[in-house]
Amino acid sequence: MQAITAAKLYTANEQIGAPLVLVEDGRIIAIHSRESHAVPAGATLLNYPDAVLVPGLVDLHIHGAAGYDVMEAEDSGLRRMAAFLAAHGVSSFLATTVTSESSALLRAVEKIAAQIQQWPEHGLARPAGIHLEGPCISHSRNGVHPLDAIQQPSLEFFDRVYQASGGTLRLMTVAPELPGALELIREATRRGVKVSIGHTDGDAEDARAAVAAGATHVTHTFNAMRPMLHRDPGVAGEALTNPALFAEIIADGVHVDPRVVDIFVRCVGEERSVLVTDAVSATGMGDGIYRLGTFEIAVKGLRAEAGGHLAGSVLTLDQAVRNVMEFASLPLQASVRMATANPAAMLGDDGIGVIREGSRADITVLTAKGEPITSFIAGRERA
């Protein structure tokens, strides 16, 4: 048995002073306060007296890190990425693909799925599934996704990807204005796959139609979608106002101005805002030339670009938490919620983004400023 204690514990709606979290066989078996409970005899005490315990962070949208690109679908690379993420407080993530030619995309999905199904639980962040970003997206809002690999939505395409994923497909980004998109959204929702509206030139009515068909999320709000105008609010306007939608944002100060991040949080609220990184292989590696799928990206400072367009980010999720604390003047607890309970709620996964009795012992230890000290994944301290 492990007994983990700190100055405070934060979940989405609760604070506990001097918490005592008891962990056995990778699960949380009890949560107390040290004011009322002693450390059990024989338990290994792990004490972080000036720190805060929070649920392991959850990144729904990440293409790579530590020199590894998800589309490579190579075992040691994905584990290297997972170790890097654990060092930044992340316990669960969706391995996110990029638009590619069909055979290459299906091959990558199959390989990622095979790794997920055999994943070891020994201190590495866990790929909780696959996020398919594209290829059913808008030609005019493609960002850096290759135009020649974009496809029209179809049930046949969805079924091929779903089967290749072996049930690990958890999220799809789709442009709802495309012919066939609403049928795809309905079928994905029927099979338990969440659908996000993104890389879209659709308007607010297209977004509402997508929600009616089952969409529950918006991909990197403001980026790769038509601008929000006072007579044409678009998908962005719907993301800010529709209570049926969770909405993600890349809070690196590059993709979205810090003042607009503040507006986003004020409108979307602490219950629906989701922090993501959209990180690429260059994350943690420094300036240079890297890969995203089939093409090269150039990284300098905080910018990753291809052909003059932003191409993902080099943001880490713990930095996103700290940035939102600064940009939107939020306390740590509220910002952490956007990287834990909210993405878990969007996925409908009550086993992640929480600290509660019976749940997996995914616990991140932060300073009061949101800087990671260490993390535990299924009760094992990060590798």
Helix (H, G, I), strand (E, B) or coil at 278: coil
Place of tokens 């792990």: 46
Amino acid at 98: V
Query: What is the C-alpha separation between 346 and 162, in angstroms, rounded?
Result: 19
Distances (CA, A) of 196 to 131, 174, 221, 231, 244: 10, 6, 11, 24, 12
Angular region, 105: left φ>0, alpha ψ -120 to 50, beta rest: alpha
Give the bridge partners for 169, in sequence order.
130
First to last CA, the chain: 19
Q: CA 156 from chain center: how many Å?
A: 27
DSSP letter at 382 equals P
From the candidates 59, 206, 252, 278, give the one annotated as an active-site residue.
278
Helix (H, G, I), strand (E, B) or coil at 89: coil
Contacts of 305 (CB under 8 A, 6+ apart): 297, 298, 299, 311
Contacts of 227 (CB under 8 A, 6+ apart): 234, 236
Is the Cα dihedral 216, 219, 221, 222 positive or negative? negative
Element spanning 20, H or E = strand 19-24
Q: What angle do CA 249, 82, 136 make, to 5 degrees?
A: 45
Query: What is the C-alpha separation between 351 and 362, in angstroms, rounded?
Result: 9
DSSP characters for 206-252? HHHHHHHHT--EESSTTTTBPPPBTTB-HHHHHHHH-TT-EEEEE-S
The verdict on whether 278 is a catalytic residue reads yes
Element spanning 274, H or E = strand 273-276
Query: What is the C-alpha separation between 19 and 225, in angstroms, rounded?
Result: 44
Catalytic residues: 278
